[in-house]
Amino acid sequence: MVTGATGSRRETYRWLYSFVRPNLPALIVVLCLSLLASALGLAQPYLTKLLIDRGLVAGDFSAIVTLALVMLGLAVVGAGIATLNRWHYVSVSGRILFAIRAHIYRHLQTLSPSYFTRTRSGDLMARLDGDIAEVQRFATDSALALVNGVIVLAGALTFMVLLSPLLSLIAFALLPLHVVFLRVVRPRIELSLRDLRAQASGLSSFFYDTLQAMKLIQSVGAERREAERLDGLQARYFGRLRHQQMLDQAASVIPGLFTLAGVALVFVAGGAMVIDKTMTLGTLIAFTGYLTRAVGPVNTLLGLYVALKRAQVSLDRVEEIRHARPDVCQPSAPEALPAGAGGTIELIGVSFAYPGEETQVLTDTSAVFPAGAKVAIAGLSGAGKSTLIDLLQRHYDPGAGRILLDGTDLGRLDLAALRRKVAVVSQETLLLSGSVAENLRYAAPEASDGEVRRAAEMAAVSTFVDALPEGYETELGTRGLRLSGGQRQRIAIARAILQDPLVLILDEATSGVDTETEEAVRRALDTVFSGRTRIVVGHRSTMAEDADLVFELVGGRLIARDPVQERTPAP
């Protein structure tokens, strides 16, 4: 098991390195600039030694001025290099961050709807934002810090040993205590971070869920209850945060005390040597300057030990997304629909149960929806109508049986092409932030203004858009909630018209509009999609009027009904 875990961890690091590798030239530039700035910084303590010994002590004012100007010049050059280095660093780290986030987002786009129903949106947001940023920081900062720290430390130690081997030994006598302390505190930091990230995700999910449902909260008078729930979540988060902050404080303060103790020992021993005339004052000050510069890399290198575990917590959370497997996959050699495809759908012995569940939603059901037919499907809530729609768009594959579109198994078609050919307008209409026109064009971004307006007129969208402040350029806000449910449904219908699919599925698509508007939309759709397959799902009779075939979904099977009898009013 350990070997497998180690192999998995190596694979994770290889995946992470795949984002760093294309940016290696830029990272090398950042490293070189950093080393150059550090090299200029290493010259300062030695210049200070010369200024004291050859200028102040020797009483040479010209030497003081010359050395001071040199120190100032090096400081100005170093500041310029550091600024340029910062610009390059932000550029390369941003590219790596955005590449990782884009990769994870594209992977999320391949996952089936069931993944998003069982995963809280707030938790996904926390992982896409905070956790990926933490991973990116470690992927770039750790390598730079390691190389730069080792080189700067080596340079500082070289000068320290040259100035005084004895003081060098004294300065790092307490280093083993640093290592022991960090080995003790590291696992505690890792566990604390995991708890803190979980609490932060809970808070993100709370805000995401409740802000979307604020109207409901107000309608049922649940404001106080939700506010109290927020208080509880924040109290738990605060407790974890305080615990984490105390661990971080200990991880920084205690090693700092060790460092201060080492500096104090250096001053005691070095002071004695200055008094005994075995060391000059300039040498002692220069040594302490190099010691200060060595302490930074030492703390950085020791801190990488803790930073690795901090990043590992975030990396594990990102990995949970990366290793989520899609329920359907793009075929390795996708086939195209035959020329002149008409939209015939065949269900052959189709059975389906959701992943992890034993109950069959569909059981050995078969049916044929001929090309150009208008098919009505009825059924009680929970009968499996939405599941059937998801199978037709191949969000899932049947557990048994096959579904064919014009004789081709859906599993052999290109996913994007299939879903473009099978359009769904559902009761739960999804709109995105943006203008009316942008939402209408979402499935057909190349559509002209004239095509957009024609589709809007057919779906009775123009009747309310013309009254909006900026017409088709009016911003709809989050999820289009400034519109009524019926208005959102009409936009979705117009969007489907622009998509120009082979098969149109209407799932309670006009449940939010009045009967007169519904009748007008029905006539428009029957005209526009005449000769193409239309599947009307739901209980309303108007949209299913003149259906060529009627099915009822009962017990997981499609049962054919007589269309004439279905349209005949009960006595």
Same domain, 99 and 144: yes
> Is residue 368 helix, strand or coil?
strand
**Residue 306 above 70 pLDDT?**
no
Distance CA 464, CA 382 (A): 34
Same domain, 244 and 289: yes
**Residue 3 above 50 pLDDT?**
no
* pLDDT score, position 368: 94
Is 2 within the bounds of a domain?
A: no
Same domain, 118 and 232: yes
Nearest to residue 9, comparing CAs of 305, 302, 315? 315
Q: Average pLDDT in the 91-95 region?
A: 88
Assign 206 a pLDDT band (cuts: 50, 70, 90): confident
Of 322, 337, 372, the domain-final residue: 322
Q: Which residue in this structure is represented by tokens 């290099």?
A: 81
pLDDT tens profile 498-552: 888 899 998 876 666 677 777 777 777 778 888 889 998 876 555 566 888 999 8
Is 556 within the bounds of a domain?
A: yes
Is 458 within the bounds of a domain?
A: yes
Handedness of CA 283, 285, 291, 294 (dihedral sign): negative
Q: Measured in whole angstroms, how far is the alpha carbon of residue 2 from the centre of its chain? A: 29
Same domain, 73 and 27: yes
**Residue 5 above 60 pLDDT?**
no
Both tokens of 310, joined, read 């901090």
Is 329 within the bounds of a domain?
A: no
Same domain, 276 and 368: no
Q: Average pLDDT in the 344-359 region?
A: 89
**Residue 272 above 80 pLDDT?**
yes
Distance CA 570, CA 186 (A): 75
Same domain, 431 and 294: no
Number of domain units in the chain: 2
Nearest to residue 381, comparing CAs of 424, 427, 430? 427
Neighbouring-strand partners of residue 551: 377, 560
Distance CA 352, CA 384 (A): 10
| Range with the largest mean pLDDT of 139-148, 254-263, 317-326 | 317-326
The H helix count followed by the E strand count for the chain is 20, 10
Same domain, 450 and 541: yes
**Residue 175 above 70 pLDDT?**
no
**Residue 349 above 90 pLDDT?**
yes
Distance CA 349, CA 131 (A): 45
Nearest to residue 392, comparing CAs of 529, 503, 528? 503
Domain at 93, CATH number: 1.20.1560.10
Same domain, 315 and 380: no
Which has more confidence, 564 or 185? 185
Domain of residue 231, residue span = 12-322
Is 224 within the bounds of a domain?
A: yes
* pLDDT score, position 566: 54
Rounded to the nearest integer, the mean pLDDT of the chain is 82
Is 273 within the bounds of a domain?
A: yes
Q: Print burial letters for 53-77: b (CB count within 10 Å at least 16), e (below 16).
A: bbbeeeeeeebbeebeeebeebeee
Distance CA 525, CA 500 (A): 11
pLDDT tens profile 220-246: 777 888 888 888 888 888 888 888 778
Is 154 within the bounds of a domain?
A: yes
Distance of CA 545 to CAs 133, 168, 460, 493, 519, Å?
Answer: 54, 92, 19, 17, 10
Please give the helix or strand (H or E) that residue 5 lies within, else none.
helix 2-20
Assign 1 a pLDDT band (cuts: 50, 70, 90): very low
* pLDDT score, position 513: 64
**Residue 419 above 50 pLDDT?**
yes
Same domain, 281 and 368: no
Distance CA 528, CA 520 (A): 12
Distance CA 523, CA 101 (A): 45
Give the count of beta carbons closer than 10 Å to the beta carbon of residue 527. Answer: 9
Of 290, 322, 354, the domain-final residue: 322
Same domain, 445 and 513: yes
> Is residue 80 helix, strand or coil?
helix
Same domain, 301 and 379: no
Is 7 within the bounds of a domain?
A: no
Nearest to residue 493, comparing CAs of 467, 517, 466? 517
Distance CA 30, CA 441 (A): 43
Both tokens of 394, joined, read 């191949």
Same domain, 155 and 274: yes
